[in-house]
């Protein structure tokens, strides 16, 4: 049997308070974020340091600076808080009678296979209530940890110790051009080098890293510099501005599913111009709904002749 001391004075509250101070690097902003006054926040941090018997925050440093022990504690406190949140959402999920699956997705997946996958899933498992939230990949990671979504379909390969990420496939990138652009008279594929004479619209502007950074790094690897780069909020704005003749955009192949007369698409010859489609879930979540979702995705890939490497949850 594990021995748990009767009075263990470090509580989750202390971890939350410390993480807020370490993240914000400022006691006033941390207190605001926690919706408490600053003096009780300072007292709690002091209590925590007394209980641990080490200094976590350098005295008098502005902005707040963590000691080596403080930086160590920060990383592990974040992990513990994420685990506590996961314990809550996973327990609620196990205890639920009705089956639900909340999906977070980046907009481009909606123009590709996502509708087909969800239609098939609904037909096979009508008892599961499916809901949708459009969000960036980085927002999906937080939403998974907060229990807001159960699965995220995104494009950025970010690492998080509490998230399991499966790369479903690597999708080719293509170029979106305004109708009337000289290239639209030529049916052949384009090369990334052609973008040197163009204004390039990239999205989303925030949060970073994002799909914008993927496109910029593909160009950077080949030392390709477009005439001008304009960062915009999301895919819909980028395509709308392409239609308005403001520039061109590099988008995943599935965006061709968004049919508009004023925008034309051309493939790219560059083989490394790809973007992954990722399936992200909470690390411990192996629920039936997720296993079935992954199986349906692979069924759709098989039917569409799309190459992939099969993974299991
Ligand atoms: C895909 O396009 O590969 C995809 C989109 C959404 C969910 C799963 C896969």
Short-list 286, 308, 298, 264, CA closest to 93: 286
pLDDT band at 158 (very low <50, low <70, confident <90, very high): confident
Task: Kindly state the average pLDDT of the residues 237-260.
Answer: 95
Over the stretch 86-98, which tens digit does the pLDDT of each residue have?
888 778 777 776 7
Residue 6 has pLDDT above 70, yes or no: no
Neighbour count for residue 50 (Cβ, 10 Å)? 10
Residue 295 has pLDDT above 70, yes or no: yes
Residue 56 has pLDDT above 90, yes or no: yes
Q: What is the pLDDT of residue 97?
A: 65
Q: Which atom of ligand 1 is nearest to the CA of 169?
A: 3
| Structure token pair of residue 290 | 């997720």
Phi first, then psi, for residue 227 (nearest 5°) are -55, -45
Q: What is the pLDDT of residue 3?
A: 56
Q: Which residues contact 230 (CB under 8 A, 6 or more apart)?
A: 199, 200, 201, 202, 241, 246, 247
Mean pLDDT of the chain, nearest integer:
92
Q: Which residues pair with 277 in a beta bridge?
A: 169
d(CA 46, CA 186): 69
Phi first, then psi, for residue 10 (nearest 5°) are -85, 115
Q: Using a 6 Å CB cutoff, which residues line ligand 1?
A: 109, 112-114, 117, 153, 168-169, 254, 277, 297
Over the stretch 113-137, which tens digit does the pLDDT of each residue have?
999 999 999 999 999 999 999 999 9
Ligand 1, pocket-test mutation among 104, 108, 112, 152, most atoms within 8 A of CB:
112
> What is the dihedral sign for C-alpha 79, 81, 83, 86?
negative
Q: What is the pLDDT of residue 8?
A: 57
Residue 284 has pLDDT above 90, yes or no: no
Instruction: Quote the ligand 1 centre to 180 CA distance (angstroms).
Output: 31
Integer angstrom CA distances of residue 262 from 42, 184, 202? 58, 11, 19
Residue 139 has pLDDT above 90, yes or no: yes
Q: What is the pLDDT of residue 9?
A: 81
Scanning the chain, the segments in alpha helix (DSSP H) are: 12-24, 27-34, 38-52, 68-95, 107-110, 114-124, 137-145, 211-221, 235-243, 288-303
Instruction: Quote the ligand 1 centre to 153 CA distance (angstroms).
Output: 7
Task: Kindly state the average pLDDT of the residues 225-229.
Answer: 97
Residue 245 has pLDDT above 60, yes or no: yes
Q: Write the residue with the smallest CA distance to atom 7 of ligand 1.
A: 114
d(CA 50, CA 57): 12
Phi first, then psi, for residue 150 (nearest 5°) are -105, -25
Short-list 106, 113, 105, CA closest to 234: 106
Q: What is the pLDDT of residue 292?
A: 96
């Amino acid at each position: 049997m594990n021995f748990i001391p009767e009075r263990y004075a470090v509580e989750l509250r202390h971890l939350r308070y410390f993480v807020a101070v370490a993240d914000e690097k400022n006691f006033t902003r941390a207190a605001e974020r926690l919706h408490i006054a600053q003096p009780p926040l300072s007292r709690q941090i002091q209590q925590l340091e007394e209980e641990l018997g080490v200094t976590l925050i350098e005295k008098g440093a502005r902005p707040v600076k963590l000691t080596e022990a403080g930086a160590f504690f920060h990383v592990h406190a974040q992990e513990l808080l994420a685990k506590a949140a996961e314990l809550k959402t996973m327990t609620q999920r196990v205890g639920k009678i009705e089956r639900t699956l909340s999906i977070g997705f980046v907009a481009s997946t909606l123009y590709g296979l996502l509708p087909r996958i969800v239609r098939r899933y609904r037909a096979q498992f009508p008892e599961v209530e499916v809901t949708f939230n459009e969000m960036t990949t980085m927002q999906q990671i937080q939403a998974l940890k907060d229990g807001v979504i159960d699965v995220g379909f995104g494009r950025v390969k970010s690492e998080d110790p509490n998230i399991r990420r499966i790369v479903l496939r690597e999708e080719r990138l293509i170029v979106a051009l305004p109708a009337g652009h000289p290239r639209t008279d030529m049916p052949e594929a384009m090369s990334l080098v052609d973008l040197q004479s163009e204004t390039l619209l990239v999205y989303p502007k925030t949060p970073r890293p994002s799909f914008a950074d993927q496109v910029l790094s593909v160009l950077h690897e080949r030392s390709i510099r477009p005439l001008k780069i304009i960062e915009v909020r999301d895919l819909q704005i980028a395509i709308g501005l392409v239609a308005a003749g403001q520039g061109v955009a590099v988008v995943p192949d599935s965006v061709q599913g968004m049919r508009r007369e004023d925008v034309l698409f051309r493939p790219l010859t560059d083989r490394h111009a790809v973007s992954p489609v990722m399936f992200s879930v909470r690390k411990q979540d192996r629920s039936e709904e997720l296993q079935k979702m992954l199986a349906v995705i692979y069924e759709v890939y098989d039917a569409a002749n799309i190459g992939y490497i099969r993974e299991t949850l």
